[in-house]
């Protein structure tokens, strides 16, 4: 008798078993295969060279954890039918299918639509193809299904997405600060009055998870060199779009061309004749860097300077401040750079960049959104009422200014 | 006082410390930075999705092991000057700098020159730029330096290249069969009469290393699905070059265009006016897949069929045989496929592929090329005289036939 | 609803889940808890200081792998009832329960009975207590149950015992040479015509497993310093028994006393009035070293010399030979040591030790005992017919002589 | 030329290299070898069965980290002579040599002296034997040496002791919550104005380290089942001492006997005729459990009940409270247990136990004791001024009550 699972190798978990049937069909779908060419962590690999893992691998990993979570919950008596189990597995598998090239970095530059909305559109498209096989999946994904804990496993403060990405990103970056006890946490999950909760003895694992998440933000996701590279990538694209829309021909792969010429928004995806979803599905990380490499030689000096700096890794310097830096500081940086820049003054906005990043490790007090701890006697408390000190629920905002380091034009 | 090393994160070894000075300058060179965009293991990630690590990371890792090996050898009294230490570090760092996109897979398809020769050309070019700073490095790399053990550390049956790639590839694929005791092996290295040798108590580690290498060949590098994907990639390029050279315009990034139009060989790199090395340095994995994606829609049905199959991962089936498969078997596969193929018969050679792969884990008996074991009393024996059974020095050749699985045209 | 499993922490596998019911009852039994005080690898920790893991942990680990194997086999259609699953889990949990202090080292010195026979006696005793709950377990353990693959999972060339001990011993020693792909092997298990077999694509994992086992023998289990320490431990006990049986009072914990005074054999365990099994169950590693420490001060100079040397780790030197060392060599060592030894000549046999150790990584050709490989078309071949070169089925014997290094009396 | 280092295997770090000379001589000393028989984490293995690692292994590990720290500090220009390097290595190697059986658990029960003071006494004794070779080591250990950073590496809020024990304990328990980036932290160490400091970019690693330490306290060191077992061990000893001192003969190994008969304090160690240090050096974990096993059959029912419960792992229940539990609660537990206990009322104090445990992850504000962060411009700030939220400098105290769970007499 043949195996009823397809096995994927994963250095993080050893193996991921995908059952033949709906789930395997989704994995084989070209929309999903496309995630093989979309990095999970954008330009993080400029600082952590191992961080080249993809959305494809992350989605499989989150699926794997979901399978374990379902098994644990069922062993503790949670009522989950086979159809619900498959649907919630499909939902986590597809939760990021809407991500485009360089994920969050270019999310609002290439198109103006949130990736979760695009994930939903992709799911609807596949659902049509499969004659409604994803109906239940979509209900769960949209949080319209009565058993709310299923949605919470897909999207919540303790969902399988977060458990996988922290584990996976810390594995591939080598940043131990992000290691979490994902298997311990999953073993402690329980359904209580229709909501996902964590058994009391899992408190320290949850605290560790929250701390790890916060540290990963500052040490990896918002690392100042990573952020500088990603800011540069955004500027490259802003400039390329500006030039194309001004009539300056910029070389680009045909798949990328329409996204330079237009500023597509969510509504454009809904216009059937557009086939915009399919056009978007053609794009991936390869097109972006392939294009940027030609732009190194472009006649526009803003585009070529930014492209060369990015490809050859002469990254901008980025400084964080606890408060918004005064305009005098920005003016000074502008003045310094202007002295070396031969183009018009209006170009300077591509080089002296300011912005803010914030990070809230945990969202305390959100109605019904908190991680719930189940105590032995049978009552739950939100995490914020259990351990104050480790929660770090404060929203930390850091302001930055980013500018060319050694200006070699 | 500032640190005198730049630290790179590496999930495999924790950290890699690169001293400021020559070595850091080499790492920052655009030729070296380009290795960030060249995967170490071609399309292996189609089977082992974590295997996206790059030549850049491998080169840093091999450098790291070299630094440790030098320290060990010096602590045991080997005579290695600071200049020699730096030169051999530079040599291992640059040993793969000549690799092009998809490394070995496209090595003889895009151009007709061996990557080691190209590495040498790149080193010579950088050496010019740096006013001869790599003179000693080049001597060692070419095995022209009297202290032969330095070359053996760079290129031999127990070099730092092999120690790193087995360790790294097994880490990122998750294939434990390839795990070796690299640190134990390095601790056992010793210089004996000018040659690299291994202390007696390292025998089992060496045996394990040889077995691991053989297993990695069959389980990863020559995995039949990996090989099928790579064979397809070769056919895609063969067809694209054929078409371009027949005058059929095929869309391609400008950087790739000359390599489709011409069949460059080693001599073309030596013609100064060509600036071919610089053109070659512009190419990387991104261009290849970006191009293949456009070719999915090409009017040539061979090119579009192969490209679509590869991008959407409908991989050919590959079967291994101990002996060359008879022409009747090949004919049968041709006949089967011909029945579904509407193009000319001459196209069939792109689809029914045959070839052979061989693997020799260890090369016993090569004059002066064997791994030498140093016994306590002070004499050495070649590994093949120490442990016969584990050596697997037999050259194993497997023949394959590869063809489309489910022909959906 | 409470969890229906008790979770044990295991740095090797993360967690081991033990279902409440029979299995948990067995784990809680004092006979099983006693295994917490019996090291898995005797004096191996004298060379590999991390190797302090116990038979308790090994038994839980082997149980864990058994649970996974059952799940895999059932998913491939093997007919395993719940009762059979529990029985085979109990059998692997208890397979080593008969081990005494320092396991194999003192196996024939303290008593004259094989540990497997003692395991059976312990199981029978517990079976009585539990009113026959282990009847099926005993049938499987004795290979009297028709579904032979169940016994093969407990005791065979690819049983869960071996998979766990190689994995666990290499983890705690830090010897990577012993790392095996236990999860890959388990995923490849299948039942074919009532026998355990391995799917074709698991061949390389099996080969790696056989090689790893052989390397662990020479590098860990039969490491010459480990063997020297264990030989010394045997001599300490031989001397203590000799003295006690000669009427020389030797201090010993009450639990140990009867085992010094008598030479118990298997039959003595069967004499009901003896309660010998219970007396044996009182013994563990702590008694042995506690006693040896007092013996450091004993008036008998043989006993005190051996005890001091062992406790303060002045270990004998051990040399291996491919052939039995000639009597002249032994005579010479005797002469050398005699020159420094003031006691009678008859003592010398405690110090100049000879013996042999052999290791056969794989037993090819044993009727029905080989690892069977299942090929896709549905036929099996024994491993020895599939890959000759990696099998190492040759029985390697090494002879040793062992003697005090620096005689300080 | 022979190696100038002895290599120890360590699954945590791979290898530990010990230079021949003073350090190796210390490792071989019987006082140090004794640490092979003293567990690092007392009865923690009752909950985490892998936690059987010893003070011996911890001391080697801390020595290993010290060697790395010295190398890092020297590479950044710190002035450390070879003699100082060796002395600080010796100091960390011997910092725990004064620990007795079951380390902290029995620290004040077997004798009344702090282990650090005993470590000093052992060092002084060895120093005499070695003719003053540890003079500098003792100065550093006692914080009497001008270069204070050397002492801080041995004993401070960021010393090599803590880095090793968190790493090692989380490795052997399998509790990922304790994993720290020890190598990252060490790479960030720097000497600033004679004090140990951490470079700015190491802040997150420090924060992670502080959090990990706090979590390890609650999840491992003060785990309620671990604490219950250790409380029981203390009661066993209290009762045995009480009985012996009352004239009730209790069986015990000769080495243990004097410590039951007397209540030795620090001064007794200073009385030369006592040879108390040598007597103490004879004790280790083996004696304790060997003795407790005989006590299972003692005629005193308190001693036998406690001993049986501990050996057969019928552990007391322990409950934590944020505030000191009221006497009514304690009274109730006493009443409940009294109903099943046939001995005198005065025995009850051995069974109904109360106490408090507190844990302060970080000591902010201690004059000159804080972890100092070195910022790029060259000024330092204490950690508590850099990141408030993660510091957890609050002293958390938890009160407990501990009592027999299922009283089976």
A282 at B interface, C-beta within 8 A: yes
Q: DSSP secondary-structure letter at D43?
A: G
Taking an 8 Å cut-off on Cβ atoms, the answer to whether B187 and D77 are in contact is no
Q: Which residue in chain D has the smallest CA separation from B183?
A: D14
Taking the domains of chain A in order of start, what are their residue ranges? Answer: 5-222, 224-357
A60 at B interface, C-beta within 8 A: yes
Taking an 8 Å cut-off on Cβ atoms, the answer to whether B3 and D183 are in contact is no
Residue D271 confidence (pLDDT) above 90 = no
Instruction: Give me the pLDDT at residue C130, please.
Output: 97
D184 at B interface, C-beta within 8 A: yes
Taking an 8 Å cut-off on Cβ atoms, the answer to whether C181 and B176 are in contact is yes
Instruction: Give me the pLDDT at residue D383, please.
Output: 87
B201 at D interface, C-beta within 8 A: no
How far does the CA of residue B1 sit from the closest CA of chain D (Å)?
6
Q: DSSP secondary-structure letter at A326?
A: P
D408 at C interface, C-beta within 8 A: no
Which CATH number does A5-222 carry?
Answer: 1.10.3210.10
D74 at A interface, C-beta within 8 A: no
A75 at C interface, C-beta within 8 A: yes
Instruction: Give me the pLDDT at residue D408, please.
Output: 42
Helices assigned H by DSSP within C95-114: 103-110
B377 at D interface, C-beta within 8 A: no
Mean pLDDT of D218-242: 95
Cβ atoms within 10 Å of B322's Cβ, excluding its own: 9
A-chain residues within 8 Å CB-CB of C19?
none
Looking at domain B5-223, which of 1.10.10.10, 3.90.870.10, 3.40.50.720, 1.10.3210.10 is its CATH number?
1.10.3210.10
Mean pLDDT of D230-246: 97
Taking an 8 Å cut-off on Cβ atoms, the answer to whether C208 and B215 are in contact is yes
Instruction: For residue C174, give the nearest of D10, D48, D291 by CB distance.
Output: D10
CA distance A116 to A96: 7
Residue A390, SS3 per DSSP: coil
Instruction: Give me the pLDDT at residue A153, please.
Output: 98
For domain C5-222+373-382, the CATH architecture is Orthogonal Bundle (1.10)
> Following CA atoms A274, A275, A279, A280 in sequence, which dihedral angle do they give, to the nearest 10 degrees?
90
How far does the CA of residue D139 sit from the closest CA of chain A (Å)?
36
Residues 6 or more apart whose Cβ sits within 8 Å of residue A229: A43, A46, A310, A315
C-chain residues within 8 Å CB-CB of B210?
none
Computed over every residue of chain A, the mean pLDDT equals 92
Residue A286: both structure tokens together: 């390869």
Q: Could you tell me if B181 and C208 are in contact, meaning their C-beta atoms sit under 8 angstroms apart?
A: no
Q: Chain B, 384-403: which have a CB under 8 Å from a chain C CB?
A: 389-390, 392, 394
Instruction: Give me the pLDDT at residue C1, please.
Output: 43
Neighbours of chain A (3+ CB pairs under 8 A): B, C, D
Cβ atoms within 10 Å of A251's Cβ, excluding its own: 14
Residue D360, SS3 per DSSP: coil
Taking an 8 Å cut-off on Cβ atoms, the answer to whether A15 and C187 are in contact is yes
The ipTM estimated for the assembled molecules is 0.94
Residue D176: both structure tokens together: 């990922």
C-chain residues within 8 Å CB-CB of D57?
49-50
Q: Chain B, 3-22: which have a CB under 8 Å from a chain D CB?
A: 3-5, 7, 14-15, 17
Which CATH number does B225-357 carry?
Answer: 1.20.1250.30
Residue ranges in chain B modelled with pLDDT below 50: 1, 407-409
CATH class entry, domain A224-357: mainly alpha
Q: Which residue in chain B has the smallest CA separation from A56?
A: B49
Instruction: Give me the pLDDT at residue A393, please.
Output: 58
CA distance A91 to A225: 34
How far does the CA of residue D102 sit from the closest CA of chain A (Å)?
26
Computed over every residue of chain D, the mean pLDDT equals 92
Q: Tell me phi and psi for residue A263, to 5 degrees.
A: -105, 80
Taking an 8 Å cut-off on Cβ atoms, the answer to whether C36 and D14 are in contact is no
Q: What is the interface size between A and D, counted as CB pairs within 8 Å? A: 46
Instruction: For residue C1, give the nearest of A2, A14, A77 by CB distance.
Output: A77
- Please report the DSSP string for D158-204 in residue order: T-HHHHHHHHHHHHHHT-GGG---HHHHHHHEEEETTEEEEEGGGHH
CA distance B178 to B215: 7
| Full-model pTM | 0.89
Q: Give how far the C-alpha of residue D201 lies from the chain's centroid of Cα atoms, to the nearest Å.
A: 30
Q: Tell me phi and psi for residue C396, to 5 degrees.
A: -95, 125
How far does the CA of residue A368 sit from the closest CA of chain B (Å)?
37
How far does the CA of residue A176 sit from the closest CA of chain C (Å)?
17
Neighbours of chain C (3+ CB pairs under 8 A): A, B, D
D228 at A interface, C-beta within 8 A: no
Instruction: Give me the pLDDT at residue C63, please.
Output: 98
Q: DSSP secondary-structure letter at A96?
A: T
* Biggest CA-to-CA distance, chain D: 75
Residue D124: both structure tokens together: 């002084």
C299 at D interface, C-beta within 8 A: no
Instruction: Give me the pLDDT at residue C409, please.
Output: 39
How far does the CA of residue A116 sit from the closest CA of chain B (Å)?
23
A177 at D interface, C-beta within 8 A: yes
C216 at B interface, C-beta within 8 A: no
Least confident of A245-249, A376-380, C289-293, D284-288: A376-380
User: With DSSP H G I counted as helix, E B as strand and the rest as coil, what are the percentages for chain A, rounded to 5?
Assistant: 55, 10, 35
CA distance B405 to D12: 47
Give which of C2, C13, C20, C198 to mutate to test A binding, by max A Cβ within 10 Å.
C2
Instruction: For residue D177, give the nearest of A205, A215, A394 by CB distance.
Output: A205
Instruction: Give me the pLDDT at residue D389, please.
Output: 56
Instruction: Give me the pLDDT at residue C273, please.
Output: 80
Q: Work out the pLDDT band at A226, boundaries 50, 70, 90.
A: very high
Instruction: For residue A177, give the nearest of D175, D181, D219 by CB distance.
Output: D181
Instruction: Give me the pLDDT at residue D409, please.
Output: 39
Residue ranges in chain C modelled with pLDDT below 70: 1-3, 361, 365-368, 388-394, 406-409
Q: Work out the pLDDT band at D369, boundaries 50, 70, 90.
A: confident
Q: Work out the pLDDT band at D3, boundaries 50, 70, 90.
A: low
D177 at C interface, C-beta within 8 A: no
Residue C7, SS3 per DSSP: strand
**Taking Cα atoms as reference points, which of D246, D224, D260, D269 lies closest to residue D402?**
D224
How far does the CA of residue B177 sit from the closest CA of chain C (Å)?
6
C24 at D interface, C-beta within 8 A: no
Taking an 8 Å cut-off on Cβ atoms, the answer to whether B172 and A11 are in contact is yes
pLDDT tens digits, one per residue of A167-215: 999 999 999 888 898 999 999 999 999 999 999 988 888 988 988 898 8
Instruction: Give me the pLDDT at residue D12, please.
Output: 96
Round the CA-based radius of gyration of chain B to a whole number and report it: 23
Taking an 8 Å cut-off on Cβ atoms, the answer to whether B49 and A33 are in contact is no
Residue B236, SS3 per DSSP: helix
**A160-173 helix and A203-216 helix, angle to the nearest 10 degrees:** 60
Instruction: Give me the pLDDT at residue C246, please.
Output: 95
How far does the CA of residue A190 sit from the closest CA of chain C (Å)?
9
Q: Could you tell me if B131 and B156 are in contact, meaning their C-beta atoms sit under 8 angstroms apart?
A: no
How far does the CA of residue C95 sit from the closest CA of chain B (Å)?
28
Instruction: Give me the pLDDT at residue D150, please.
Output: 98
Looking at per-residue pLDDT, the higher value among A51 and B362 belongs to: A51
- Please report the DSSP string for B326-338 in residue order: PHHHHHHHHHHHH
Instruction: Give me the pLDDT at residue A313, please.
Output: 96
A289 at D interface, C-beta within 8 A: no
Taking an 8 Å cut-off on Cβ atoms, the answer to whether D211 and A180 are in contact is no
C76 at A interface, C-beta within 8 A: yes
Q: DSSP secondary-structure letter at D325?
A: P
Would you say how long chain C is, in residues? Answer: 409
Which CATH number does D5-220 carry?
Answer: 1.10.3210.10
Cβ atoms within 10 Å of C388's Cβ, excluding its own: 11
Taking an 8 Å cut-off on Cβ atoms, the answer to whether A184 and D207 are in contact is no
Q: What is the interface size between B and C, counted as CB pairs within 8 Å? A: 46
Residue B89: both structure tokens together: 């570090």
Q: Which residue in chain C has the smallest CA separation from A13?
A: C183
Query: In chain D, how many H helices and how many E strands?
Result: 19, 9
Report the CATH fold assignment for C224-274+283-357.
Growth Hormone; Chain: A; (1.20.1250)
A-chain residues within 8 Å CB-CB of B172?
11, 50
Q: What is the interface size between A and B, counted as CB pairs within 8 Å? A: 115
Residue tagged 């003697």 (tokens): C403
A-chain residues within 8 Å CB-CB of B285?
286
């Amino acid at each position: 008798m043949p195996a009823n699972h397809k096995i994927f190798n994963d250095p993080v978990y050893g193996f991921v078993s995908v059952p033949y049937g709906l789930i395997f069909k989704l994995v084989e779908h070209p929309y999903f295969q496309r995630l093989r060419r979309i990095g999970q962590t954008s330009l993080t690999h400029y600082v952590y060279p191992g961080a080249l893992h993809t959305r494809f691998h992350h989605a499989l990993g989150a699926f794997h954890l979901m399978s374990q979570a379902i098994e644990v919950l069922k062993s503790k008596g949670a009522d989950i039918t086979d159809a619900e189990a498959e649907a919630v597995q499909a939902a986590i598998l597809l939760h990021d299918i809407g991500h485009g090239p360089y994920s969050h970095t270019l999310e609002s530059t290439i198109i103006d639509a949130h990736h979760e909305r695009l994930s939903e559109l992709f799911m609807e498209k596949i659902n049509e193809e499969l004659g409604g096989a994803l109906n239940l999946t979509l209900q769960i994904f949209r949080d319209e299904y009565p058993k709310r804990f299923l949605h919470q496993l897909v999207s919540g403060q303790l969902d399988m997405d977060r458990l996988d990405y922290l584990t996976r990103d810390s594995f591939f970056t080598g940043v131990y600060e992000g290691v979490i006890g994902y298997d311990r946490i999953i073993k402690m999950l329980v359904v209580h009055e229709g909501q996902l909760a964590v058994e009391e003895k899992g408190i320290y694992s949850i605290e560790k998870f929250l701390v790890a998440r916060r540290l990963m933000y500052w040490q990896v996701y918002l690392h100042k060199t990573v952020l500088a590279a990603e800011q540069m990538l955004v500027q490259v694209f802003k400039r390329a779009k500006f030039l194309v829309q001004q009539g300056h021909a910029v070389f680009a792969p045909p798949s990328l061309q329409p996204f330079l010429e237009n500023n597509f928004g969510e509504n454009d995806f809904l216009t059937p004749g557009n086939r915009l979803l399919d056009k978007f599905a053609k794009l991936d990380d390869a097109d972006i860097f392939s294009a940027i490499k030609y732009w190194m030689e472009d006649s526009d000096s803003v585009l070529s300077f930014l492209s060369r700096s990015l490809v050859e890794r002469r990254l901008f310097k980025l400084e964080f401040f606890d408060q918004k830096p005064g305009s005098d500081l920005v003016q000074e940086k502008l003045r310094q750079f202007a002295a070396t820049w031969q183009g018009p003054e209006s170009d300077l906005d591509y080089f002296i960049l300011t912005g803010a990043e914030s990070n809230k490790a945990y969202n305390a007090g959100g109605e019904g959104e908190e991680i719930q701890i189940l105590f032995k006697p049978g009552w739950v408390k939100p995490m914020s009422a259990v351990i104050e000190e480790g929660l770090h629920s404060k929203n930390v905002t850091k302001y930055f200014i980013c500018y060319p380091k050694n200006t070699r034009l």
